Structure 1
């Protein structure tokens, strides 16, 4: 199997997750530094390697508890910096932002193995103010329609990803899950493949730089500490 940009480490990681380790029903999260650049150099899912940051701890926990087939999302401020300082899956810790409430709800209802997507405006600010999974509330944006459809068809344990143009505007106009419609970009190919293999409950995440451009060039899951230096 190969993708359009098969030389990227990210592609290799995705292929490994999809084909080699189907038991990992979780999403790779990216920790954004103040500059908005993705840093995920030394994640590890084993119990021997010390974890260096919160994302690695969460990743290991997700792998240990495979029933949590959901992704951590980051709330992007106007500057494009990720804010997710106090995520919690328990009912005791007060939630500090909308994403934490959504995350807890997803864990409480484990049958919803999908990811909340954010529609990015031209400014790169996440907008998802009125998501709803019921059929009565009118949907206000494409993401809500997609979310409801995913919940309606629980067998689709995958995430809709957005391809970010240089302007930071989400483009997802021609997404198709059928094998007859030609795909116009790599993310559509991946999405269709995921739906074709429903056992793959994982999500693609996009890393936003401060100016809203997706960067996912060279993440590495290597355990060698030297990689980080």
Structure 2
């Protein structure tokens, strides 16, 4: 959900340090672009405030009394998915970042950012409901990239069968005989496999499937050049 252009974005600020929270409220309000509609100092208070105020954005501190940030984000995402949750924390931690984004947070901002960066992030969240915003160190970004697993490729059982036989250097005609299907059906399955793997050839598909762990147990990987093997 994004705030309509004809009204100010509604914000709830959740932080258990009263002075810091009041400073955030003043900083956000003085711009005239946002309306702070609620405050909270614990996890349960945050859930109640969001339910009562239905804000466009929740600015959420990680360390507050209650069930913890992860549980709070999960509950809020389930109950009020239209509210975008921006984590504001002292912890420049790739593990925590990954965990909270996976639970549904839309932004992860460290408290060392400048006022202008915070306001820019809030403007972006209010304007576009699709993007995920990060304001962390380069080291954290690099570690997050290194630690992130490759996305899983969902191939059907038949597509996997065709792929395994392709990796064993069988031609389309040979695969068709082995699986008791038409050769045109083999080609259709391979076309889908190429699309899902982002491959441009049989050898490319085999390499990418191997890298994704889809060909475990297959020991022979060859580019097939025989007639009927290029489709």
Do the structures match in fold with TM over 0.5? no
Normalising by the smaller structure, the TM-score range is under 0.3
More strand by share: 2
Higher relative contact order (CA 8 A, sep 6+): 1
Higher alpha-carbon Rg:
2
